[in-house]
Structure 1
């Protein structure tokens, strides 16, 4: 154990200055196999998301609110993945997977900030799709650049504040000895279980944030899609209905994957296999989803494919 460090003056302190991350596996051979796999996933995540941001910024046909939101969504995925992947990759090559108290708090803060911002941004994108389908003649007036910028700023600010109110109380709890986290990153539920303090306040804080930010965003998404469904049903032509639904398909797929995995990970009952299940779900939620999101938007979107073709055509003319 490292020397104790003060947390709340002389009255409260913690003797834990380092946490031990157990990682995905303690088998050395398996870790060497997993390293190139997860390095590849992380590089694909960076390349696809950065590529999508660049494409949106460079192509004039993609200068619409939907793609404006998508570029910031891709930036969130880059930051979210980068909060855990580099540490996990370096731990594959280490015998002792130690993380300092401050580094653990920072990792959780950034990851939580990005996850909460993603919830809010998904809600903003759902509202954008509702306006595009339900009120097409007023779309340009309603989704003006100023409103889009405020919605993005609001999503990032909400994520920042909600992450702050979770991180500060959690890492001001009294940690008197146990310091082993059975995962590859600093998960707040597992960190709280190591505390020697009464966790009631931080647990209530987590619950309230989940209700207001997580479920609040989900409610906006569900309401938006309810109005979208009602608008699609009013369309007389099948072709028009299919086209309207197709504009929402990618966003809907991302929402189902993001919320479906998150709800299952934090709401499923504990069992004898819960630690292994948590690790598998954590990998999918923290590592794979940021890679899948740009793929879903790119592969299912005709406008993105056409923009990519135009960019390649321009590049070949320059050579």
Structure 2
């Protein structure tokens, strides 16, 4: 990181710079307000609150896109509350261990990376889902737990994306076809809403077990099987005739994998293989090829 140290206690500034430089950071120490305001872009600014008086707010404004950590001698409204309200990220009180300062820098660097990743993915999904047409639902009236039933998983994903934005919720994803998914759920603290995908791949007894786990929890479950007997509220999604995935062509392998995964819990192997136009032996071979466990 490119780090600017604005501190008139020479020994402290040099100690900080020495430690951060040893960790691979690029440091610059400045004590003149003109030099600070003329400095180039920095990833982080360590700003003493007793060096520039009211001009500290000009520094905070200049580096508003950087990580700003205040170096303070004591805690009061002028040293902490007002600068943080103006845009500083955090503070550390003197005397302090440089290691604690490094921990704060690492924390905010990681936090900024996560914010940028989240922003990028949000823009991507917004663009991606914008071309997918489905009927409108009153999302705010939907009560947890509930199921999204759709012939296409991406329609369900779009619904959840819009729900997440509208209600300002952050969902944790769990794929129910993963090994030990139900054990994971039983040990879940449900501190945030969950989105459970591929309910249709579960066996009957696993579905009953899942129903028991999610009672009165903030959970959304998706399935592509319209004939499920589900004891919870359901949102049924259908592709709009004016758009969606009508022009999407699956490969033969993608088609077989989708049909086997979605309907092996609905039809016995004899019926499923007949509908696919293959033998039961071929069905077994395709399960092995695609890594699909046999469900009953």
TM-score of the superposed pair, with normalisation by structure 1? 0.21
Q: Which has the higher contact order (CA 8 A, sep 6+)?
A: 1
The structure richer in helix per residue is 1
Larger Rg: 2
Structure number with the higher strand fraction is 2
Output the TM-score relative to the length of structure 2: 0.23
